[in-house]
Amino acid sequence: MAYTPLFLNAKKHGTILIIGGGEIAAAKTEALASVGAEVEILAENISEAVEILCAKHGFKTTHAPYNKKYLKGKKIVVAATDNDAVNEKIAKDCNKADILVNVVDNPPLCDFIFPALVRRGNLQIAISSSGISPVLARMVKHAIEQAVPVTFTNLIRFMGDKKLELREKFTKIQPRRLIGEAIYHGPIAEELYEGNRQKADALFDDLIATYPNQKQPALYLIGAGPGNPELMTIKAIRLLSKADIILYDRLVSQDIIAQYARKDAEKISVGKTRDHHHKTQAEIDALIEDHLRKGNVVVRLKGGDPGIYAHGAEEINIAKKVGAPYQIVPGISAANGCAAYAGVPLTERGGALSVRFITLYTKMLQDDDFWTSIQYAKNETFVFYMSTPHYSTLCAKLVELGFSADTPMVAIEQGTTPQHREYKSTIGSFDQEWDSSTFASPCLLIIGDVARWAKENQWKDAPQEKASYFPALPSKNSEEKQVA
């Protein structure tokens, strides 16, 4: 059951009627009173705790059994009796009268539910499990309470005092947002957490005196990791949240964009597959340059690490040409991520002392120099990117070059994601055991003695059913732009 999160101005909807007078009614009364709502209690028996709360806040109490006549004029009702039949009748009566109703511990009868709430002054963070597990919601609440200091209220109050001044000085949205982030993540916030308002005021005055009232372009090449959103770095998440424009690859989890990108950021798919380049590199470069010249913060979001099989140097040159600052934010490469999830160490004491990342293009199959370089690397670990169409030729060639047919090999598709799946064998028998047409993209090949650990160290269960974790590219004629 899905609920739309909203923050309701309860005062505009009159008195909220709570039907029930016990422990649950006391909890709801206290929660509503804490946000300034007006409450009325209806129950035959009203506990001392509820009476004390109502006296404290000046709330009306009515000692009487439930009757639908008490619903007249009400817009919001909470059914908190200990009688399921009475609660169900309250819900039916409210539905007929178009009154929003919450039935405690009975989500199917609820028009709305109460979230677990973290409050820091005017900042409110609501957490809900859609009524499935209030205990889980409370656990998340406690985690947030530990992460957001109690003195965060000082920062909220400070920003309220400075809001008008910031709006008057910074007339453009982007610089106003960026200076806000500078305040939240810098020394001003730290002084406020310690209660040093005068020092914070002085730092604020210095900051706004020099901060430009104009858009500030920047380019961030960010590695999104191999697929699992939890493998994004803290810095990657922070800089991604600054983006005005996000150019993202196909092998970037949509969960990463949904969780960490601003909703108003423009998201543009520029992904590629072997047979479908939704955007050519020249078109991607042109997009980067165009948006930088417009003063936007551009994030080039790449699967894995932005320094492995990407066009980072080319894209950085665009930022240099425009005169925009840039950063490269490393990510966990597909090789590291997939190997770790398969239980495979890429190097090993006394065994593989080095690792080689390779992508096997068709033209390389006839390149004698390439195969000669491979021939003398029998103690290395090979990680082949984007090479599964050639795995049969690869295995045969390695055996021809003198590699043992028993050399372990593992193919890992959609590594680190919920669709992570492994295909284990040796270079001598892989071709007979597996058909490359069964491999989902992306798929990585690890060849070398270390690949034997894939059988012994396996810890990631394969999914029960095969599916694509990464979305297909938009058709060439489809709208390229997504604005959330």
- Active-site position among 93, 244, 249, 305: 249
Token digits of residue 151: 């003195």
Q: How far from 187 is each of 161, 192, 201, 261, 374, CA to CA, in Å?
A: 18, 9, 11, 25, 53
- Active-site position among 172, 215, 272, 378: 272
Contact 182, 190 (CB under 8 A): no
* Spatial distance between the Cα atoms of 382 and 8, rounded to a whole number of angstroms: 58
* Spatial distance between the Cα atoms of 243 and 192, rounded to a whole number of angstroms: 27
Contact 158, 199 (CB under 8 A): no
* Spatial distance between the Cα atoms of 323 and 390, rounded to a whole number of angstroms: 42
Q: What are phi and psi of 86, to 5 degrees?
A: -65, -45
Classified by CATH at the fold level, domain 10-114 comes out as Rossmann fold (3.40.50)
pLDDT, tens digit only, all 484 positions of the chain:
578 888 888 888 899 999 999 999 999 999 899 888 999 999 999 999 999 999 999 999 999 999 999 999 999 999 999 999 999 999 999 999 999 999 998 989 999 988 888 888 888 899 988 878 888 988 999 999 988 889 999 999 999 999 999 999 999 899 999 999 999 989 999 999 999 999 999 999 999 999 999 999 999 999 999 999 999 999 999 999 999 999 999 999 999 999 999 999 999 999 876 655 568 999 999 999 999 999 999 999 999 999 999 999 999 999 999 999 999 999 999 999 999 999 999 999 988 999 999 999 888 988 999 999 999 899 999 999 999 889 999 999 999 999 999 999 999 999 999 999 999 999 999 988 987 667 888 999 999 999 999 999 999 998 988 899 998 776 655 444 443 3
134 CB-contact burial (10 Å; exposed 0-12 / middle 13-18 / buried 19+): middle
Contact 302, 331 (CB under 8 A): yes
Known active-site residue 272: yes
Report domain 336-456's class.
alpha beta
Q: What pLDDT does 474 receive? A: 65
Helix axis angle for 152-169 and 173-184, nearest 10°, is: 150
Report domain 218-332's class.
alpha beta
* Spatial distance between the Cα atoms of 272 and 280, rounded to a whole number of angstroms: 8
For the four alpha carbons of 160, 161, 164 and 167, in that order, the dihedral sign comes to negative
Q: What pLDDT does 1 receive? A: 59
Domain map of the chain by residue range? 10-114, 152-210, 218-332, 336-456
First to last CA, the chain: 23
Beta-strand relationship, 218-223 and 297-302: parallel
* Spatial distance between the Cα atoms of 254 and 354, rounded to a whole number of angstroms: 34
* Spatial distance between the Cα atoms of 310 and 290, rounded to a whole number of angstroms: 20
Alpha carbon of residue 329 to chain centroid: 17
Known active-site residue 249: yes
